[in-house]
Chains A and B, each alone.
Chain A
Amino acid sequence: AQSVAQPEDQVNVAEGNPLTVKCTYSVSGNPYLFWYVQYPNRGLQFLLKYITGDNLVKGSYGFEAEFNKSQTSFHLKKPSALVSDSALYFCAVRAHYGNNRLAFGKGNQVVVIP
């Protein structure tokens, strides 16, 4: 069964500094990988996904993520964090074939300090 690990509960970063949120995954075969963001009292919003091809994926709001097959990682990055990026971030994985369930990580709280 597929699974996701987000090792850090909270990431603190100063406004204007680079932001990285880590994600590693486990899946049989090739993965589809996703990042979602959740603001307080709201549902999850899709940020970006990796299907195949270029390992660097660009998404909404200036976010990007790098797929690394050898390290089974899909870290989310933003070159310059904004206070408005403070939110809960979820990584998710599903396999290309078979069980279609999307497995979510526990989430990372990002706090951008002004």
Chain B
Amino acid sequence: NAGVTQTPKFRVLKTGQSMTLLCAQDMNHEYMYWYRQDPGMGLRLIHYSVGEGTTAKGEVPDGYNVSRLKKQNFLLGLESAAPSQTSVYFCASSYEPPGTGGLFSNQPQHFGDGTRLSIL
């Protein structure tokens, strides 16, 4: 019962360094999401994907890139880390019936346990 697995769980970076956060899900979900969680701000959507090979921008995409080369994996990249990107990052996935667009968007999202990223 792995669900959504995020790697790594913790990381400390220096300003300007790059890194990739990995998210893997074993539920065969089409939709995957990357969020950041900051105190008092809830969750904000960074990027999301509606299927293999597709990605789209969320609320706060600047400074991040993503890729979805395989259906089960969704990668989040920081090309040049900045202190403002210190946060807890959550990956999520959801089942959305194919071909229905927004009509059946009532499925819950399944979250990983997060990656705690500090940028000095």
Give chain A's interface residues, CB within 8 Å of chain B: 4, 9, 32, 34, 36, 41-46, 49, 51, 90, 94-102, 104-107
Residue among A43, A44, A94, A106 making CB contact with B105, cutoff 8 Å: A94
Give chain B's interface residues, CB within 8 Å of chain A: 4, 40-45, 48, 58-59, 90, 92, 102-103, 105-106, 108-114
Distance A45 CA – B92 CA, assembled complex (angstroms): 11
Distance A4 CA – B4 CA, assembled complex (angstroms): 26
Secondary structure of the B side of the interface? loop
Closest Cβ–Cβ distance, residue B83 to chain A (whole Å): 22
Closest Cβ–Cβ distance, residue A56 to chain B (whole Å): 17
| Of A34, A43, A95, A96, most B-chain CB atoms within 10 Å | A43
Closest Cβ neighbor of B48 among chain A residues: A101
Q: List 15 A-B contacts (CB under 8 A).
A: A4-B42, A9-B40, A32-B106, A41-B113, A42-B113, A42-B114, A43-B111, A45-B111, A46-B110, A49-B106, A90-B43, A101-B45, A101-B59, A102-B45, A106-B41
